[in-house]
Structure 1
Amino acid sequence: MTRRLLLSYLALAVLVLAGLEIPLGYVYARGETSRAARDVERDAAMLAEITEEDIEKGELAALPEVLDEYTERNGGRVVVTDRHGTVLADSDPDGRTGISLAAQPDIARALANRATVTTTTDGDGADVLSATLPGASGTTVRGTLRLTYPLSEVDARVHRIWGALALGGACVLAAVALVAFSLARWITRPLRTLEAATAQLADGHLADPPDAATGPPELRRLAASFTHTATRLQHLLGAQQAFASEASHQLKTPLTSLRLRLENFEPHLDPRAHPSLDEAVGEVERLGRMVQGLLALARLENTATTPEPVDLDTVLTDRVAMWEPLAAEQYVTLDVTGPPVGGVWAIPGALEQIIDNLVANALRVSPAGSTLTLHRSPGTELHVVDQGPGMNDADRARAFDRFWRASDTHHDGTGLGLPIVRHLVDASGGTITLHPAPGTGLLARIRLRPAPLGPAGTHPASGAQGRAGVGSW
């Protein structure tokens, strides 16, 4: 933002300088040309009077001396003709006398007692100011005089002025840049500290609050409001994390005690009440799993973790080896297909929990003799495909809602497995979607971002290597 503010100030300064200096330069250039034309006309008039007097007296030999003296002092070229247009004297050493110039327009007008002041080109093609005047007394024309002055001298003065204006503009821009840079740094300092504080807060802890003592009043108030909000948010997050860490210990004991007390009733109950007792014990167990799922989800949401490169193939092999004995007990075959995927970006331990939850949910609905397929697809995708009853469109649309279970479900899931999976996938920068499987069943498609791996691959230590499945449908 400092650069953009600096560029804005400089652009405004350039526009102001251009609006002032360019018209000034053009006015000066026109004025310099006009002054040069007036000077040439004035000198030509003066020389015409002198040469007319010499011609009248017949002192033609004095003409070259007069012309040489003038050109030596002022420059330019002077040509004098008689009343017939024949050259009597020329200040140019290469000029010839005795030739007639009567046919040239300016000389012809001077012979007709009319003056000509114009811009033209000389014999070498250079631009010159030309003043041609008659040498006359009253209506009697005794000769003409042409004074030409090179415009290069005028252009040189104009260029010097343009250079001075450009140098002055550059100095002004340098001063503006210095002041603008200091001002921009002063304005953006609270924003820079606010940006750094926002990044720290996103990582979970605000160590350096934004600077609320410098900068414009509006930004100081913004920094103070952000600090107040961040402090309150950290307090709320701390309280929630404390609850998540303590609630598991506080809730586990009474739930375990309640389950033991219910089981102790079994010998004293009528056999006809045993099914109800079993259902009550099952509900207590489900409540325990639900509490554990809620606490796990709260811990995930309160933990700011940066994705790291993980070897998907290695994690998949480990988790399949862990789940194969349980699948075999249910007469379900675990099958891994597709080419190796390699590295993907995932937060530490996320892949293990994602695979465990999806496999646990799939095994819960897979009939005996079916196959549970974990297919690796190009584009760093993992497909978990079961041969269970599947889901309709409405159920798939709500499957990621917390505590939601299909109306026709017959298992004891808590409705938290898929929300946990989606949170882990989102935190890893990926996406998860549910689709109908070919034939029957459900296909869970996880797409993660590819990541480079070291020579030996990267497999971060996981905090959830065990069976983490929590039923979702």
Structure 2
Amino acid sequence: MRRRLVISYLLLMVLVLLALETPLAATLASRETERVRADRLADATRFASLAGPALRGGAPGPLGGELASYDELYGIGAAVVDRDRRTAVSSRDWRPGPGTEAALDYALSGQQFSVPDSVWPWGDDPVVVAVPINDGGEVLGAVVIATPADGIRRRVTAWWLLLAAIGIVAVLACVLTAFGLAGWVLRPVTELDAVTHEIAEGDRGARVQHRLGPPELRRLAASFNNMADVVSDVMDRQRAFVAHASHQLRNPLTALRLRVEELGLSLTDPQGRAEHQLALEETDRLARLLDALLTLARAEREENQRVTVDAAEVAASRVAAWQPLARHRSVSLRLASVAGPAYARTVPTAIDQALDALIDNAVKFSGAGGEVTVTVRPADGGIALEVRDTGPGMTLDQLDRATERFWRAPEVQNVDGAGLGLTIVAVLVDASDGRLTMRLAEPRGLVAGLWFPAPVPAGPAAPAGTAVRGPAVSPDGPAVSAR
């Protein structure tokens, strides 16, 4: 936009210069030509006053000496021609040239004549003037002077070069002024664009300086800051509400579960015990839902904090933690990791919770006899983790919606889960500047991929933060591409 503004100012300046300097250049050429032409007409008139005896008596008289001296002094050829166009007397260097015949036609008809009106730098024709020689009202002949125009062209060219230099200086001044003016006008817009990107990347405290630029843009910056304050406050209130509500509901839910559990001791009817067990399971499901909401609120609140973790060590820890559940469901769970540490830069507990969610999904949906493989390897300047399962997979439409909050595939509505696990994974990966992808596996199943950036610089020693662990979450379906 700055370039467009500068080009607009420059184009306007060039048009103004052309509108001003073009007529001025033509006027200068005409002025220089007119000055020389007036001098030649005066000289021709003086020669015409001396040419009468030469034409009547046939002798040059003093006119021949005048023309010779004139040619020697100024290098300008002149001639006296009678009414029959015969040259009566001429200077030594006189040569008829372009415009001579037309000049004689006018002069012999009793009129003064001169050509051209203006001498241009690219022309080479001389300045020709002709004056009639009169005697008692009778035209006896004419005086013709042909002046080389080299001197006029040099002076006109010098004037035009001066105008061009002035124009170039004016254009340079316009460009410098235009850059300064465009910078002053666009500085608030540039800062607004930068702050918008910072807020989009998670820095909700970024604001625009509202004391720069024109008044309209200063008001826009102030309005943007007010809007950002309101949006940030609303988001903080929303997250605080979710976190507080989830936390506060945990206490009465715990008390309710204890009371329901104690109530089961007095039940003797088998059907009543079955209903009692269902009530306990529902309280457990509600507790997991509250834990997931609290985890999500905390994950979204983690904006800029980063820690360096050993992804290989975290993956080994999570695979070991999920082994009992995998064996219980007759699922083979194994780890394929690189030898040595694989450091990644993430928000706290991002890898822990992401692997918990993906491994839980893979074990849950693989079924008895299924296989789940967790892979850790360097890739694309960072660390890539994959969780591959042999479950039923998902359709492309389901993959597109898998990270929506509380969304669950229709065929797994009765499977335990709250529909928030993959949402938490997506938030944690995005906050870590990572990537979450999902693709179909061959011949069946899904491959959930995580990528996290490597620390800069990557130190060889085990960094602080490796031991950070997050609670296991209970998600419900594979994820889609996020970030």
User: For the superposition of Structure 1 and Structure 2, which TM-score range results when normalised by the shorter chain?
Assistant: 0.7 to 0.9
Alignment-mate amino acid for residue 238 of structure 1: D
Q: Look up the match of 1:227.
A: 225
* 1:326 pairs with 2:322: yes
Pick closer, same or farther for the CA change 1:402–1:325 going to 2, 3 Å: closer
Q: Which residue of 2 aligns with 1:385?
A: 388
- If the length of structure 2 is used for normalisation, what is the TM-score? 0.73
Q: For residues 233 and 69 of structure 2, what CA distance do their matches in structure 1 show? A: 97
User: Does the 8 Å CA contact 2:76/2:146 hold for their aligned counterparts?
Assistant: yes
CA spacing shift, 1:69–1:351, aligned 2, 3 Å: farther
Q: Distance in 2 between matches of 1:108 and 1:43?
A: 19
- Once the two structures are TM-superposed, the CA of residue 440 in structure 1 deviates from its matched residue by 2.9
Is the Cα contact below 8 Å between 2:365 and 2:391 reproduced in 1? yes
Aligned residue in 2 for 1:11: 11
Deviation per residue, 1:260-314 (Å, 9 max, x gap) = 3333333322262333333222222221221121222233334434899x89xx5
Amino acid at match of 1:387: T
Partner of residue 43, structure 1: 43
* SS in structure 1 at match of 2:145: strand
2:259 to 257, 261, 266: 261
CA distance in 1, matches of 2:347, 2:52: 104
Change (3 A) 1:238 1:321: closer
Instruction: For residue 279 of structure 1, give the secondary structure of its aligned residue in structure 2.
Output: helix
More displaced stretch, 391-400 vs 175-184: 175-184
| Counterpart amino acid of residue 264 in structure 2 | E
The answer to which of 434-443 and 422-431 deviates more is: 422-431
Which residue in the other structure is 2:419 paired with? 415
Q: How many percent of aligned residue pairs carry the same amino acid?
A: 33
Return the alpha-carbon distance in structure 2 between the equivalents of residues 103 and 221 of structure 1: 73
State the partner residue of 1:282: 281
Matches for 1:208-357 after TM superposition, within 5 Å: 210-211=209-210, 216-270=214-268, 272=270, 273-305=272-304, 315-316=311-312, 318-324=314-320, 326-327=322-323, 329-330=326-327, 331-336=331-336, 349-357=349-357
What is the match of residue 445 of structure 2?
441
Task: Tell me whether 1:78 sits opposite 2:69 in the alignment.
Answer: no
What CA distance in whole angstroms lies between the structure 1 residues aligned with 2:353 and 2:52?
A: 114
Query: Which residue number corresponds to residue 22 of structure 1?
Result: 22
Q: State whether residues 54 and 60 of structure 2, in contact with CA within 8 Å, keep that contact through their aligned partners in structure 1.
A: yes
SS in 2 for 1:147: strand
Q: Tell me the distance in 2 between the aligned counterparts of 1:199 and 1:103.
A: 76
Structure 1 residues 194 and 384, CA, compared in 2 at 3 Å: closer, same or farther? same
* Contact 2:195 2:207 (8 Å CA) reproduced: yes
Alignment partner of 1:333: what SS?
A: strand
More moved, 318-327 vs 368-377: 368-377
Given that 2:319 and 2:333 are in contact with CA atoms closer than 8 Å, whether structure 1 keeps it comes out as no
**Distance in 2 between the 1:78 and 1:59 partners?**
20
- For residues 77 and 128 of structure 2, the distance between their equivalents in structure 1, rounded to whole angstroms, comes to 10
Match in the other structure for 1:472: 476
Distance in 1 of aligned mates of 2:235 and 2:401:
28
Residue number in structure 1 paired with 2:157? 159
1:294–1:245 distance in 2 versus 1, CA, 3 Å: closer
Residues 1:295 and 1:51: Cα distance change in structure 2 (over 3 Å): farther
Q: Offset of 1:402 from its aligned partner?
A: 1.8
The 10-residue stretch of structure 1 (281-290 or 102-111) with the greater mean CA deviation from structure 2:
102-111
CA separation in 2, counterparts of 1:54 and 1:346?
A: 112
1:105 & 1:440 partners in 2: Cα distance?
Answer: 98
State the alpha-carbon separation in 2 of the partners of residues 233 and 108 from structure 1: 87
Contact 2:314–2:351 (Cα < 8 Å) also in 1: no
CA distance in 2, matches of 1:338, 1:51: 116
**Per-residue displacement from partner, 1:52-82 (whole Å, max 9, x unpaired)?**
5457567747446423654577x34124467
Q: Partner amino acid for 2:291? A: Q
Q: 1:168 to 1:72 in 2, by over 3 A?
A: farther
**1:98 is matched with which residue?**
none
User: How big is the shift at 1:386?
Assistant: 0.8
User: Where does residue 360 of structure 2 map in the other structure?
Assistant: 360
| Distance (whole Å) between structure 2 residues aligned to residue 223 and residue 239 of structure 1 | 24
- Counterparts of 2:305 and 2:11 in 1: how far apart (Å)? 41
Partners of 1:187 and 1:216 within 8 A in 2:
yes
CA distance in 2, matches of 1:445, 1:81: 105
> CA separation of 1:356/1:45 partners in 2, compared to 1, >3 Å: closer, same or farther?
farther
Is there any run of 5+ residues in structure 2 with no aligned partner, and where?
478-483
What's the CA shift for 1:374? 4.0
Please state how far the C-alpha of 1:438 moved relative to its aligned partner: 2.0
1:108-123 matches, within 5 Å, as: 110=104, 113=108, 117-118=114-115
Q: CA–CA distance in 2 between the matches of 1:339 and 1:55?
A: 121
Q: Which moved more, 1:214-223 or 1:268-277?
A: 214-223
Instruction: Note if contact 1:79-1:87 (Cα within 8 Å) is conserved in structure 2.
Output: no
CA shift in 2, pair 1:109/1:259, >3 Å:
closer
Q: SS of 1:211's equivalent?
A: coil
Is 1:150 paired with 2:148? yes
Distance in 1 separating the partners of 2:267 and 2:230 = 53
Which has the larger displacement, 370-379 or 43-52? 370-379
Aligned residue identity for 2:91: D
Deviation at 1:319, TM superposition (A): 0.9
Contact 1:319–1:356 (Cα < 8 Å) also in 2: no
The TM-score, its normalising length taken from structure 1, stands at 0.74
Rounded Cα–Cα distance in structure 1 between residues aligned with 2:314 and 2:185 = 55
CA contact (8 A) 2:198 2:204 kept: yes
8 Å contact from structure 2 (residues 312, 338) kept in 1: no
Are the counterparts in 2 of residues 106 and 116 from structure 1 also a CA contact under 8 Å? Answer: no
* Partners of 2:300 and 2:428 within 8 A in 1: no
Q: Is the 8 A contact 1:352 1:462 kept in 2?
A: no
Please say if residues 405 and 472 of structure 1, whose CA atoms lie closer than 8 Å, have aligned partners that are also in contact.
yes
C-alpha RMSD over aligned residues = 4.7
**Hey, what's the Cα distance between the residues in 1 that align with 2:184 and 2:441?**
60
Query: What secondary structure, in the 3-state scheme, does the structure 2 residue paired with 1:265 have?
Result: helix
Letter in 2 for 1:19: A
Q: Could you report, residue by residue, the CA deviation over 1:125-164 in whole angstroms, capped at 9, with x for unpaired residues? A: 95422346676754545xx754232222222332343244
Equivalent residue, structure 1, for 2:126? 128
Count matched residues. 454
SS in 2 for 1:443: strand
Give the secondary-structure state (helix, strand or coil) at the position aligned to 2:126. strand
